[in-house]
């Protein structure tokens, strides 16, 4: 018995691996969290610095547009002097120059008198300045929420708060028209297109990364956005109407933070609204409230967190994947160890069972062999006695029949009947010789033959008379098949036993028995050649006997059918038919195959052909 296996060393390795994985997991998890937090903090700091630049730039641009309007107002007041005959022409030139300087941002100018009554309006389109209708100009004043404060006595504001027209956002720049004597003679109002101004002067989308600044008012309506369709929308309710299936819970958190804090940074989940089907991303955001004139805005700047931190995050994911791989390996190892432990527990008991079973098998095989040898010995003695007695009976019959044929040679009818008696006695003597051969009393002295096709035809012509009524014989014999030498009587015995089994399988029912002799098909021939080095160059002929009986019952192994005295016919069978066939096949190295894949049974005998010279 082998030594009992031990798991001590494996248990030590397993414990060490668990500790190593735990340490690695804690380290990677901590590193991943630290990298992510550092990336968030760094990203938010950079956003806040950029946001301060954007905020200052926005303030300066609007102040610059306001100063430009004030300078234009001064020039216009000077040209309004009545004593200057060229004032009207030069005034039109000054207006055209002013409106043309920033045509995409302030292409419209409205002049009011000192009481705030509409005086005139101009617009520049395609480089051409023309008079604007009062009705159109008044829409910009009526939409302005700060317009009424111009005349309430308070100091004049630089600009109004925002308003929306045709999905665009505006603020109105204000400046008075002051005469040389210091008297206010009127006002100039210049609507500033915030979207165009922002894109031209502040935000230029040349970055390879996702992200952009935007401006919202105190009602959380979008004032400036790179996507023009977003201008004027409420960041929660209007977007929810546009995309009812999107999760905007983090946008609500962002809105709450912006409404309660003067400035700040945070991370949140949102979407890129310039996509046809927005995808959810983790954004870093910074915001700050500013006042420019009457406008009170929150300036926000955001970016895609993972886009800016792809490399360190990918490295952490790689480490995490390696950890998961190691964990999977350890889990498999643990499962193997568990199975090994179970095997270890049952080891000694299984060894005892194996030894016991081995002993029982050996004893059983010994008993079977002794029983088989006893039966064969008994049958050998019995058949020898019977054959010798039959020969004693047949010898005088043969002798007397021959004498009678010689004595009555002139009586043809009698001689014919005597010949039948003589031939029948000869057949009986041949049969006794065969029996002696199988009982190892005689080795057989038949002549060797090679023409398998002719021997098979002769044998079938003799056996045909034994065919029961109701059973049809069909044969297809390929001519001129020469095989390695064999005794004709051996082939007759094989064919007789196989056909007898086929007749008995069909019984009293109508049936059909097919005898076929042909060269083995290439796939089957290749299979036969693989048996040994000796057979790998041989070609085979196949003799097959097929019946349409019930076939072999399920559960019976092919090997059992060739055991001596094994029968499925009860008291009606001797159990020696297939045993005799297999004995002859072993003698010549023929191969026997049982095929029960179809109805009935096919027994095939593969016989080596003579090699071609």
Highest average pLDDT, of 200-204, 406-410, 607-611, comes from 607-611
Least confident interval from 302-306, 402-406, 434-438, 595-599: 434-438
Q: What's the chain's average pLDDT?
A: 78
What's the CA gap between 236 and 228, in Å, rounded?
Answer: 17
* List of residues 6+ apart from 583 with CB closer than 8 A: 438
Which two tokens mark 244? Answer: 């009812």
The pLDDT value recorded for residue 278 is 84
For range 147-173, the mean pLDDT: 84
Question: Which residue did the predictor score with more confidence, 327 or 197?
Answer: 197
What's the CA gap between 8 and 4, in Å, rounded?
Answer: 12
Which two tokens mark 407? Answer: 């004595």
Least confident interval from 224-233, 295-304, 573-582: 573-582
Question: Which residue did the predictor score with more confidence, 2 or 307?
Answer: 307
The pLDDT value recorded for residue 216 is 92
Please answer whether residues 77 and 94 qualify as being in contact, where contact means their C-beta atoms are separated by less than 8 angstroms. no
The pLDDT value recorded for residue 375 is 63
For range 548-563, the mean pLDDT: 68
* CB burial of residue 383 (10 Å; 0-12, 13-18, 19+): middle
Least confident interval from 331-345, 483-497, 563-577: 563-577
Is the confidence at residue 571, as pLDDT, over 60? no
For range 434-448, the mean pLDDT: 51
Identify the band that residue 315 occupies on the pLDDT scale cut at 50, 70 and 90.
low
Percentage of residues of the chain with pLDDT beyond 90: 9
Identify the band that residue 388 occupies on the pLDDT scale cut at 50, 70 and 90.
low
Of residues 94, 115, 116, 98, the one with CA closest to residue 106 = 98
For range 417-423, the mean pLDDT: 80
Question: Which residue did the predictor score with more confidence, 555 or 227?
Answer: 227
**CA distances (Å), origin 348, targets 4, 104, 343:** 7, 95, 10
What is the pTM assigned to this prediction? 0.48
Least confident interval from 196-200, 326-330, 370-374: 370-374
Least confident interval from 54-63, 261-270, 306-315, 480-489: 306-315
The pLDDT value recorded for residue 290 is 92
Mind listing the domains of the chain with CATH numbers? 1-345 (3.30.450.20), 446-608 (3.30.565.10)
Identify the band that residue 36 occupies on the pLDDT scale cut at 50, 70 and 90.
low
* List of residues 6+ apart from 229 with CB closer than 8 A: 167
- Written as one string, the DSSP assignment of 236-271 is THHHHHH-TTS--HHHHHHHHHHHH-SEEEEEEEEE
Question: Which residue did the predictor score with more confidence, 90 or 191?
Answer: 191
The pLDDT value recorded for residue 445 is 46
The pLDDT value recorded for residue 33 is 63
Question: Which residue did the predictor score with more confidence, 558 or 415?
Answer: 415
pLDDT digits (tens, 9 = 90+) for 47-89: 788 888 888 988 999 999 889 888 888 877 665 544 455 466 6
Highest average pLDDT, of 109-113, 342-346, 528-532, 569-573, comes from 109-113
* List of residues 6+ apart from 441 with CB closer than 8 A: 380, 384, 387
Is the confidence at residue 341, as pLDDT, over 90? no
Using alpha carbons only, what angle is made at residue 346 by residues 340 and 348, rounded to the nearest 5 degrees?
115
Is the confidence at residue 574, as pLDDT, over 50? yes
For range 179-199, the mean pLDDT: 87
What's the CA gap between 486 and 452, in Å, rounded?
Answer: 9
pLDDT digits (tens, 9 = 90+) for 509-527: 888 888 888 988 888 888 8
Question: Which residue did the predictor score with more confidence, 136 or 148?
Answer: 136
What's the CA gap between 452 and 590, in Å, rounded?
Answer: 13
The pLDDT value recorded for residue 81 is 47
């Amino acid at each position: 018995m082998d030594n009992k296996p031990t798991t001590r060393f494996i248990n030590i390795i397993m414990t060490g691996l668990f500790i190593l994985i735990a340490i690695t997991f804690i380290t990677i998890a901590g590193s991943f969290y630290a990298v992510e937090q550092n990336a968030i903090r760094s990203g938010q700091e950079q956003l806040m610095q950029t946001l301060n630049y954007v905020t200052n730039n926005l303030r300066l641009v609007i102040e610059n547009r306001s100063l430009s309007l004030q300078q234009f107002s001064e020039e216009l007041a000077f040209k309004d002097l009545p004593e200057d005959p060229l004032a009207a022409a030069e005034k039109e030139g000054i207006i055209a120059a002013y409106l043309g300087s920033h045509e995409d941002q302030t292409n419209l100018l409205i002049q009011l008198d000192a009481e705030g009554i509409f005086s005139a309006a101009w617009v520049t389109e395609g480089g051409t300045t023309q008079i604007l209708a009062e009705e159109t100009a008044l829409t910009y004043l009526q939409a302005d929420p700060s317009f009424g404060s111009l005349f309430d006595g308070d100091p004049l504001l630089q600009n109004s708060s925002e308003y929306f027209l045709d999905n665009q956002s505006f603020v109105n720049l204000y400046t008075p028209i002051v005469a040389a004597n210091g008297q206010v003679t009127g006002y100039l109002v210049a609507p500033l297109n915030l979207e165009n101004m922002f894109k031209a002067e502040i935000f230029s989308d040349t970055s390879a990364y996702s992200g952009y600044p935007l401006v919202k008012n105190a009602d959380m309506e979008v004032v400036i956005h790179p996507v023009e369709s977003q201008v004027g929308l409420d960041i929660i309710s209007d977007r929810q109407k546009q995309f009812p299936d999107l999760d905007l819970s983090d946008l609500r958190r962002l809105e709450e933070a912006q409404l309660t804090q003067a400035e700040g940074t945070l991370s949140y989940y949102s979407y890129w609204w310039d996509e046809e089907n927005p995808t959810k991303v983790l954004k870093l955001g910074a915001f700050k409230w500013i006042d420019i004139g009457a406008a009170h805005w929150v300036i926000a700047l955001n970016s895609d967190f993972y886009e800016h931190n792809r490399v360190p995050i990918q490295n952490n994911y790689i480490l995490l994947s390696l950890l998961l791989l190691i964990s999977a390996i350890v889990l498999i190892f643990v499962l193997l160890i568990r199975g090994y432990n179970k095997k270890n527990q049952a080891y000694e008991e299984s060894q005892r069972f194996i030894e016991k079973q081995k002993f029982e098998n050996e004893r059983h095989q010994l008993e079977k062999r002794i029983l088989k040898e006893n039966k064969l010995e008994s049958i050998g003695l019995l058949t020898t006695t019977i054959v010798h007695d039959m020969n004693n009976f047949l010898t005088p019959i043969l002798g007397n029949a021959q004498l009678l044929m010689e004595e009555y040679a002139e009586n043809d009818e009698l001689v014919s009947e005597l010949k039948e008696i003589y031939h029948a006695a000869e057949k009986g003597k041949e049969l006794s010789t065969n029996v002696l051969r199988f009982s190892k009393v005689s080795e057989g002295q038949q002549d060797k033959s090679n023409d398998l096709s002719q021997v098979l035809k002769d044998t079938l012509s003799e056996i045909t008379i034994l065919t029961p009524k109701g059973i049809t014989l069909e044969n297809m014999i390929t001519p001129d098949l020469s095989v390695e030498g064999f005794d004709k009587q051996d082939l007759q015995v094989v064919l007789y036993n196989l056909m007898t089994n086929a007749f008995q399988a069909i019984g009293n029912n109508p049936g059909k028995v097919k005898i076929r002799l042909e060269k083995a098909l290439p796939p089957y021939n290749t299979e036969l050649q693989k048996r040994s080095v000796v057979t790998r160059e041989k070609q085979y002929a196949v003799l097959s006997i097929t019946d349409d009986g019930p076939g072999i019952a399920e559960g019976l192994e092919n090997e059992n059918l060739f055991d001596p005295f094994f029968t499925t016919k009860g008291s009606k069978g001797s159990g020696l038919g297939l045993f005799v066939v297999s004995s002859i096949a072993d003698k010549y190295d023929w191969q026997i195959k049982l095929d029960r894949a179809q109805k009935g049974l096919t027994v095939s005998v593969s016989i080596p052909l003579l090699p071609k010279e």
